[in-house]
Amino acid sequence: MIRFTTLRAGLIAAILSIGALSAQVMADSISVSPTNLIVPLGNQQTVLTVQAQGSAQSVIQVRVFRWDPSRPPNEFHEQTRVVVSPPISRLNTRQELTVRIVRVDSVPVQEKECYRVLVDRLPDNSENAQIIALRIRHSVPLCFMD
């Protein structure tokens, strides 16, 4: 009887600790919209909305990399044709940020140019050292069409 009670107490403690960890992770998340960006012929810019969710401030970094849609979504390359503004920002809880994405290359789009917009919520190392800090990344496809 004692072994069963000990096992049951251990199982309950494990479930509660997993629930506490998932609550902490959920508390420090971000959302991004839209999740797919298609920029039609004649346009050189678009916007992306990032919203911080949770109880603490979030540091957001946005970068753009060249990407070939026929390749895996995590295989991308440095580029200079597309810029974002702002590239890094600190958001309060439930605050929204509109990120401007602009194609600055003067050469017209040939057929289709595709990129990946990486939106990272960077871990804040200044907070409590006992909390696990996770980097949260959204990878949003961006294509300029001819």
Question: CA dist 43 to 39, 109, 119, 132, Å?
Answer: 6, 10, 22, 42
User: Could you report the per-residue pLDDT of 45-60, keeping only the tens digit for each?
Assistant: 999 999 998 778 889 9
Give the pLDDT of residue 22: 42
104 bridge partner residues: none
Q: Can you give the pLDDT at residue 79?
A: 97
Q: In DSSP terms, which residues pair with 51 in a beta bridge?
A: 31, 96
The per-residue pLDDT string of the chain (146 residues; one tens digit each, 9 = 90 and over) reads 455 455 565 555 555 555 444 444 445 689 999 999 999 988 999 999 999 987 788 899 999 999 999 998 889 999 999 999 999 999 998 899 999 999 999 999 988 999 999 999 987 666 555 566 677 899 999 999 98
The distance from CA 51 to its chain's CA centroid, rounded to whole angstroms, is 10
The number of angstroms, rounded, from the C-alpha of 145 to the middle of its chain's C-alpha atoms is 24
| Both structure tokens of 83 | 């810029």
Confidence at residue 54, expressed as pLDDT on a 0 to 100 scale: 77
- pLDDT given for residue 136 in this prediction: 87
Q: What is the DSSP letter of 21?
A: H
Cα distances (angstroms) measured from residue 97 to each of 37, 61, 78, 92? 17, 11, 24, 10
